Amino acid sequence: MNDIILVVTVGSILGMFAGLVPGIGIFASLIMIYPFLLTLTPMETIFLYIALACATQYFGSVTAIYFGVPGESSSLPAVIEGHALYGQGRAHEAIVFSSIGSFLGSFIGVAFFCLLAFMLSGFFPTSLQQFIALAVIGFASTILIKNSIRAKILMFVIPLLIAHLGMPGMSVIPQFNFGFDFVKYGIHYFPFILGLICAKQIMFADTVIPSNAQKNKANPLDFLRYKLSFIRGSVVGGFGGMVPGLTTMASSNFSYSLEKRMSENHHDKSMRCLVSAETANNVGSITQLVPLLLFGLPITASETVLYNVVQSKGWLPGSDNFWNVLSIGWPVLLVANLMMLLLSWRYAWTLTKVIPKNGTMFKTMMLVICACLSYYVGDLIAKEGLKFLIIFLLCLPFAAMSKNTNYMPLAFWLVIGENLLDNFYRLIFQLY
Amino acid sequence: MKNKNIVRSIFIGLILCFYSFTAIAQEITMLVAGSKTGSRNHSAQLMLADSKANLIEGFELNVVSPGDVCKAHELVPDYISNTPVLILNLSRYAAAIEAGSASCDLYDIKKGYPVMSQVILNYFLSNTGLTTEDMHKRPLKIGYAKNYQILKDWHQQIVEATGQPHKFVAYKGSGNLKKGLYSGEIDVGVFNQLRAVKMIKEDNVSVLYTSEKTSDDHASLTDLDPALGRNQTETLFLFGGNKRMAKKIAKRLKANYSNANGEWANYVLTSGVPHYFGKNKKADFQSAVDSWLQK
């Protein structure tokens, strides 16, 4: 239990940082602590991820409301409506209501999850079902995420070619190492995603322009005025969280669009939209784990990394595992969510002080840390530090030249490629 | 007086040195020579949990799981330069090397000190209530955790002995194999004893055959033909350390196992796998290799 408390605390603090600082989202922060993840048990890793995902949603909206800059990709409705409320002098009210929505939303998410786990208990996908599901998830996220057609095709083809490199010699799958020693056992995904996604997010992170604090004046009971927005956000968020590739972004944007339409002529439209979107993204941050924890089907790039890590520790998906996770962790998650609610309620403005003022220096420092990290992780997992560093450095120019390209689908295919091919070749050569 | 002080300082210094050496745990890297979802990785993770809980007192275990047997063995020299290395090696690999059917050169196990052995049999399990007779009545899809070519000869022998053209399906690790069996895409799964006994107890699966005779009267492949029997041993080898260290680790693991005070001990005890700590380890391993080489 102590270990769970420790990892939830680490996940919450990290999530707070990831939410507040533009450019460091869930994915980047997960990659930055990759060496730490390798030291945790599967259960601890899952808890750290849940705490990280929840905390990011709480604090992403703080940066969005105060500065009009999205702390997290799902904070876009908070940028539009929340920052408008800031302009009306209602920033604290906006933060408190979105935090209450996030708090309650987390538990609606857990309830949603329990219901699905109960209904789908004992179901194991076959290789064919798993292959189709992974392919559909991969293609859906590739298509849904905004990129040029050429980029979309390359992001699917290149990772699958890389996944073929050096497939295990004793398998039935053909080997593709072309006599090169450095691809004998394939190429790990870590330096690619560190270089193409994390480094790019850091390079192009928005800069925060200082603004003024506003006095506290929110009455929490006023949240009841937005109960219908909260309910709508919960339902939409629950399903939106399971949209491949988009998850919390889909949750918050779908519920925002719905709420906007439903509150067309309402005098308090902005607050209603904000509450709905912020509730939805927290519900979504929990329900996005349904396919992963129950069937081993990751639906976002960060989940593929999580899956890869927990799988390497002998963890297997299934509803039994889920009940174990829940029975041990629910009190810790409750306390962690309560703490985040209180922190964002009372100290939101104070916490914004962690956002670095000197953007260029911060970005340079983070890129140097990424370079060191690529070497360290390479050395740690396969004594291939130099190889990892070279790949990371080679990825940097591509990251710098492609500001408008979203590399998340590439990360998804890179991490999931080996699993996908394993299922594919088993189906082709052995099962049928 | 001066001499007395010097002697006292040396004495205190020695005590401090002694304590500093004993207090700092010796770091050991455990390289998992198997798939990430397999039972060897599972055992290694349980040992890691015990090491974190200070149940393998004096040693700090660090598990590296490259997900591939060949790669794990190839990494041994790199890790030995920093820490001693532990590898849980299967007699089947050693047999594959002797038979010339291994797909890569494994690190020479003769350079290592054996720490502990466990004899592991193979169980043919069904999730749909199939019986031993079904293996002889119709062709089945039989899943196994993929490995060396040496298995192919065995599979061919099983096909001939049962008179049915069974199809063997390879999975990456016994975890994936279990999912394959429970999803219904294969009829039978070949599991090692560590997974099988637990599955029989908890999931009510039926046993079609075991690879060797067991005390619980399951049909054994040796009943069909003695040459089909396969005695398999997993031996934990220490590389880059010394004999005393190997003995010490064995002692710690044995204490954990005897008192059942750790995750690993609990797992292997509930799985009912006999463990050997002591002189007969090498002999067991060699006899298991010979068993795999029989034709």
* CA pair distance A53, A36, nearest whole angstrom: 17
Residue B73: C-alpha distances to residues A32, A377, A385, A409, B76 (Å): 29, 19, 18, 33, 5
Cβ atoms of residues A97 and A268 within 8 Å: no
* CA pair distance B15, B33, nearest whole angstrom: 40
Q: What local confidence, expressed as pLDDT, does residue B239 receive?
A: 95
Return the number of other C-beta atoms located less than 10 Å from residue A330's C-beta.
12
Nearest of B186, B172, B33 to residue A418 by alpha carbon: B172
Q: What is the pLDDT of residues B132-153, one digit of tens each?
A: 999 999 999 999 987 667 888 8
* CA pair distance A52, A46, nearest whole angstrom: 10
Cβ B75–A430 below 8 Å, yes or no? no
Cβ atoms of residues A26 and A52 within 8 Å: yes
Residue ranges of E strands in chain B: 26-31, 59-64, 85-90, 113-120, 122-126, 141-145, 167-171, 188-192, 206-210, 232-239, 275-276
Query: Long-range contacts for B215-220 (Cβ within 8 Å, ≥24 apart)?
Result: B218/B123, B219/B132
User: Which strand (E) or helix (H) includes residue A3?
Assistant: helix A2-20
Angle (CA) B212-B218-B221 rounded to 5° is 40
Flag whether residue B182 sits within 8 Å of chain A, measured between CB atoms.
Answer: yes
The whole-number average pLDDT for the span A119-136 is: 86
Distance from CA of B134 to the nearest CA of A (A): 19
Flag whether residue A35 sits within 8 Å of chain B, measured between CB atoms.
Answer: no
Q: What is the pLDDT of residues B68-120, one digit of tens each?
A: 888 899 899 999 988 999 999 888 888 888 888 777 888 888 889 999 998 88
* CA pair distance A53, A30, nearest whole angstrom: 10
State CA B285 to chain mean position distance.
12
Helix A269-287 with A248-262: angle, nearest 10 deg: 150
Quickly state the pLDDT bin for A5 (edges 50, 70, 90). Answer: confident
Q: What is the mean pLDDT of chain A?
A: 85
Spatial neighbors of A358 by CB under 8 A, at least 6 apart, are none
Quickly state the pLDDT bin for A399 (edges 50, 70, 90). Answer: very high
Contacts of residue A41 in chain B, CB cutoff 8 Å?
45, 49
Q: What is the pLDDT of residues B40-67, one digit of tens each?
A: 888 898 999 899 888 888 899 989 888 8
Q: Is the pLDDT of residue B184 over 50?
A: yes
The whole-number average pLDDT for the span A360-376 is: 92
Distance from CA of B175 to the nearest CA of A (A): 7
Q: Is the pLDDT of residue A25 over 50?
A: yes
Q: Which residues lie across from B113 on neighbouring strands?
A: B238
User: Which strand (E) or helix (H) includes residue A257?
Assistant: helix A248-262
Q: What is the pLDDT of residues A230-289, one digit of tens each?
A: 999 999 988 888 888 778 888 888 888 888 888 877 777 888 999 999 899 888 888 888
Cβ B36–A41 below 8 Å, yes or no? no
Q: Which residues lie across from B90 on neighbouring strands?
A: B234
Flag whether residue B79 sits within 8 Å of chain A, measured between CB atoms.
Answer: yes
Return the number of other C-beta atoms located less than 10 Å from residue B12's C-beta.
10
Contacts of residue A380 in chain B, CB cutoff 8 Å?
64
Cβ B104–A381 below 8 Å, yes or no? no
Joined together, the tokens standing for residue B130 give 């199939």
- Of all residues in chain A, the one with the smallest CA distance to B168 is A430
Q: What is the pLDDT of residues B189-217, one digit of tens each?
A: 999 888 898 889 888 899 999 998 888 78
Cβ B71–A314 below 8 Å, yes or no? no
Cβ B75–A383 below 8 Å, yes or no? yes
Higher pLDDT, A182 or A216: A182
Q: Is the pLDDT of residue A396 over 90?
A: yes
Spatial neighbors of B174 by CB under 8 A, at least 6 apart, are B35, B37, B38, B39, B145, B191, B192, B195
Quickly state the pLDDT bin for A191 (edges 50, 70, 90). Answer: very high
Domain map (residue ranges) of chain B: 2-119+233-293, 122-228
Q: Is beta strand B232-239 parallel, antiparallel or unpaired with respect to B59-64?
A: unpaired
Q: Is the pLDDT of residue B181 over 80?
A: yes
Q: What local confidence, expressed as pLDDT, does residue A168 receive?
A: 58
Spatial neighbors of B26 by CB under 8 A, at least 6 apart, are B58, B59, B60, B84, B245
Cβ B104–A311 below 8 Å, yes or no? no
Contacts of residue B170 in chain A, CB cutoff 8 Å?
171-172, 426, 430
Q: What local confidence, expressed as pLDDT, does residue A173 receive?
A: 56
Interface test with A, best of B176, B178, B191 (most A CBs within 10 A): B176
Percentage of residues in chain A having pLDDT higher than 90: 19
Q: What is the pLDDT of residues B228-286, one digit of tens each?
A: 988 888 899 999 999 999 999 999 999 999 998 898 999 888 888 888 887 778 888 88
Higher pLDDT, B22 or A229: A229
Spatial neighbors of A403 by CB under 8 A, at least 6 apart, are A200, A204
Q: Is beta strand B275-276 parallel, antiparallel or unpaired with respect to B188-192?
A: unpaired
What percentage of chain A's residues is helix, strand, coil (to nearest 5)? 75, 0, 25
* CA pair distance B132, B129, nearest whole angstrom: 10
Q: Is the pLDDT of residue B21 over 50?
A: no
> Which of B45, B70, B168 lies at the smallest CB-CB distance from A314?
B45
Contacts of residue A126 in chain B, CB cutoff 8 Å?
180, 183-185
Contacts of residue B175 in chain A, CB cutoff 8 Å?
314, 316
- For CA atoms A262, A264, A269, A270, the dihedral sign is positive
Flag whether residue A132 sits within 8 Å of chain B, measured between CB atoms.
Answer: no
Pick the CATH number of B2-119+233-293 from 3.40.640.10, 3.90.1150.10, 3.40.190.150, 3.50.50.60: 3.40.190.150
Q: Is the pLDDT of residue A142 over 80?
A: yes
Q: What local confidence, expressed as pLDDT, does residue B24 receive?
A: 64
The whole-number average pLDDT for the span A2-7 is: 83
Which DSSP state fits A182?
Answer: G
Cβ A171–B171 below 8 Å, yes or no? no
Q: Is the pLDDT of residue A364 over 70?
A: yes
Cβ atoms of residues A101 and A282 within 8 Å: yes
Quickly state the pLDDT bin for A389 (edges 50, 70, 90). Answer: very high
- Of all residues in chain B, the one with the smallest CA distance to A316 is B175
> Which of B37, B146, B171 lies at the smallest CB-CB distance from A311?
B37
Joined together, the tokens standing for residue B198 give 């637990």
Q: Is the pLDDT of residue B158 over 90?
A: yes
SS3 B123: strand
Pick the CATH number of B122-228 from 2.40.50.140, 3.10.129.10, 3.40.190.10, 3.40.50.300: 3.40.190.10
Q: ipTM > 0.90?
A: no
Nearest of B233, B239, B244, B246 to residue B274 by alpha carbon: B233
Interface test with A, best of B172, B181, B199, B202 (most A CBs within 10 A): B172
State CA B99 to chain mean position distance.
21
